[in-house]
Amino acid sequence: MSNTIMKGIRIVELGTHVAIPYCARELADMGAEVIKIEPPKGESYRTMGMLFQLPFAEDNNFVFTPYNVNKKSLCLDLKSEAGKEAFLKLLETADIFLTNTREMALEKLGIGFHTLTEKFPNLVIGSVNGYGTKGPEKDRPGYDASSFWSPCGAIQEWGTQGSKAFKPFYGFGDAIAAGQLTAGIMTAMYAREKSGKGDIVRVSLLATGLWNNVCGMLRYQAGHKFPKSFNDPIVPLDNFYLTKDGKWFLSSEEHWDLRCRAYFDLFGTPELMDDPNWNSMKGYITNVSEKVKYFEEHISQVTSEEITAALTKVDAVFEFLAETDRVCDNKQAWANDFLRKTETAAGTELTIANIPIRFESQGIIDACTPAPKLGQDSVAVLKELGYSDDQIKVLIESKSIIAK
């Protein structure tokens, strides 16, 4: 079944890496037509698999695939007049233009945002940048590790005292920014229905990082110091504890006084139910290091199955850390269509995430087209724009376009 809520909407994407391509893929999965503009060498994620030590052949690209299924590829040299002319002709037919190309670079090409809005007043433009459009760092390039993670405080807050700062996997901050931009684009499209005018929607990685770590910001302002020791978490169960069968357990317990009996019975210490230092929320969050030692000792003596049975009965919030080789086997995710299978052009099957947005009126996408080869759709798109075979031949010969 195909999701059709965005059917009839044409999107032109001039994006690279994750944030813009992922936003465009979200909208493509909702039914929009996405035409991905790429330079003659292709966008950089076509070869990024080299750094990730993953396959990156044109027809078997692990890194490029998840962000670019359900798209068409039009390969243009925007530095050539013919390539730029084709780009502008395409925008005449578009509803949305998405890019993470820095605005000063677009202005040098003569296709800056305000130039485009004057030429196409009903066009909705979506942009992701590193640091915003004002201030001393507005023109700096940025990726999620630098612009999202590093300035927002989360890495230090989540770290452990005495250890080096951890390095998140690529794309987390980008994916969150992509979701923010999707929301902004949908809002701008709704406003356009009323006014008939487009808009420029900007999202920065810095703003997204700060937005998502507001809890950490509040803790800093209240005087908390980070990173914390394992023996001094915010609350006793705000740690991962190792179970008897080797699972890492975490409980997000905010109603300790209502559920503490289940823990005491599980651990064979029912007498603590009569101890005010243990049986109330006030007691639970005092002498935290003492509580940490208690949980570390007793959780190590029970299995994950025993914990699950005891805590499920009292509707507690808990989970076990997923081993990385089991993430793609999450039964709950498959039951809800949060994951799906796709194939590279070479036929290699990959598990990728489905978009997290659900509409009651729409079905779940159960199939998708493979990520396109570079310039795969160049000829077809240009013919739709009115180019003749001879004109396309000239564009190919001049290398203004690349076509497969």
3-state SS assignment for residue 3: coil
Looking at residue 213, the DSSP 8-state letter turns out to be T
Q: Do residue 388 and residue 256 come from a single domain?
A: no
61 domain-assigned: yes
Q: What is the pLDDT of residue 162?
A: 62
Residue 274 is predicted with a pLDDT of: 93
**Residue at 181: amino acid letter:** L
Last residue of one domain, picked from the residues 268, 295, 320: 320
Is there a single domain that holds both residue 267 and residue 332? no
User: The domain spanning residue 308 has which CATH number?
Assistant: 3.30.1540
**Three-state DSSP state, 152:** helix
Q: What is the pLDDT of residue 60?
A: 84
The pLDDT assigned to 161 comes to: 60
- Indicate the residue among 320, 350, 379 that finishes a domain: 320
Number of domains in the chain: 2
Q: Are residues 137 and 99 in the same domain?
A: yes
229 in a structural domain? no
Largest CA distance in the chain: 88
Contact 86, 400 (CB under 8 A): yes
pLDDT digit string, tens, across residues 263-286: 999 999 999 999 999 999 999 989
pLDDT at 165 > cutoff 80: no
Within a domain: 271: yes
Specify whether 60 is located in the same domain as 195.
yes
Query: Of the candidates 320, 349, 374, which is a domain's last residue?
Result: 320
Catalytic residue from among 174, 245, 274, 337: 174
Task: For 243-263, give one letter per residue: b (16+ CB within 10 A) or e.
Answer: beeebbbebebeebeebbebb
DSSP states of 329-340: G-HHHHHTT-EE
Per DSSP bridges, beta strands 96-99 and 56-57 are unpaired
What are the structure tokens assigned to 301, written together?
A: 């003596």
Residue 371 in contact with residue 65, Cβ under 8 Å? yes
Asked whether residue 167 carries a pLDDT value surpassing 80, the answer given is: no
| pLDDT surpassing 80 at residue 307 | yes
| Whether residues 17 and 50 fall in one domain | yes
- Domain contains 207: yes
CA–CA dist 337, 323 (Å, integer): 20
Check whether 201 has a pLDDT greater than 90. yes
pLDDT tens column, 28-65: 999 999 999 999 999 988 887 677 777 778 888 888 99
Task: Provide the angle, in degrees to the nearest 10, between the axes of the packed helices 205-212 and 214-221.
Answer: 70
* Separation of alpha carbons 336 and 135, rounded Å: 44
pLDDT band at 160 (very low <50, low <70, confident <90, very high): low
Q: In this structure, are 62 and 138 located in the same domain?
A: yes
Least confident of 22-36, 199-213, 294-308, 314-328: 314-328
Pair 164, 134 in one domain:
yes
DSSP run (H or E) holding 242: strand 241-242
Rounded Cα distance, 155 and 235, in Å: 19
Q: Tell me the pLDDT band of 366, cut-offs 50, 70 and 90.
A: low
Query: What token pair was written down for 137?
Result: 């760092």
Q: Count CB atoms within 10 A of the CB of residue 28.
A: 27
Confidence category of residue 232, pLDDT binned at 50, 70, 90: confident
The more confident residue out of 204 and 167 is: 204
How much is the pLDDT for 365? Answer: 64
- Distance CA(39)–CA(374), nearest Å, equals 9
User: Coil, strand or helix: which one is 319?
Assistant: strand
pLDDT at 367 (0 to 100): 63
Q: Does the annotation mark 389 as catalytic?
A: no
In angstroms, how far is the first alpha carbon of the chain from the final one? 29
Average pLDDT estimate for 1-22 = 89
If asked whether residues 32 and 171 sit together in one domain, one would say yes
* In-domain check, residue 224: no
Q: Is 201 exposed, middle or buried (0-12, 13-18, 19+ CB in 10 A)?
A: buried
Nearest 10 degrees: CA dihedral of 190, 192, 195, 197?
A: 160
Model confidence at 22: pLDDT above 70? yes
In a domain, 227, yes or no: no
Query: Which of 142, 179, 159 has the alpha carbon at shortest distance from 225?
Result: 159
Instruction: Kindly list the distances between the CA atom of residue 141 and the CA atoms of 97, 104, 138, 145, 177, in Å, as whole numbers in the listed order.
Output: 20, 11, 9, 12, 15
Q: What is the DSSP letter of 168?
A: P
Indicate if the pLDDT at residue 1 is higher than 60. no
Q: Which amino acid is at 70?
A: N
**Which residue range forms the structural domain that includes residue 256?**
241-320
Answer yes or no: do 63 and 110 share one domain.
yes
Contacts (Cβ under 8 Å, ≥6 apart) of 139: 102, 104
The CATH number of the domain where 394 resides is what?
A: 3.40.50.10540
Q: 92-135 pLDDT, tens per residue?
A: 999 999 999 999 999 999 999 999 999 999 999 999 999 899 99
Spatial CB neighbours of 37, under 8 Å, sequence gap ≥ 6: 12, 13, 14, 74, 75, 76, 78, 87, 90
Considering the domain architecture, whether residues 338 and 271 belong to the same structural domain is answered as no
Q: Are residues 300 and 332 in the same domain?
A: no
On whether residue 219 sits in a domain, the answer given is: no
Q: In angstroms, rounded to a whole number, what is the distance separating the alpha carbons of residues 177 and 331?
A: 27
pLDDT of residue 199: 97
Tokens of 373: 């080869």
On whether both 137 and 248 belong to a single domain, the answer is no
Are 368 and 342 a contacting pair, CB within 8 Å? yes
Q: What is the mean pLDDT of residues 317-322?
A: 92
* pLDDT 10s digits, 371-393: 999 999 999 999 999 999 999 99
254 found inside a domain = yes
CA distance 52 to 254: 39
Q: What is the pTM of this model?
A: 0.90
Query: Is the pLDDT assigned to residue 3 strictly greater than 80?
Result: no
Q: CA 177, CA 167: separation in Å to the nearest integer? A: 18
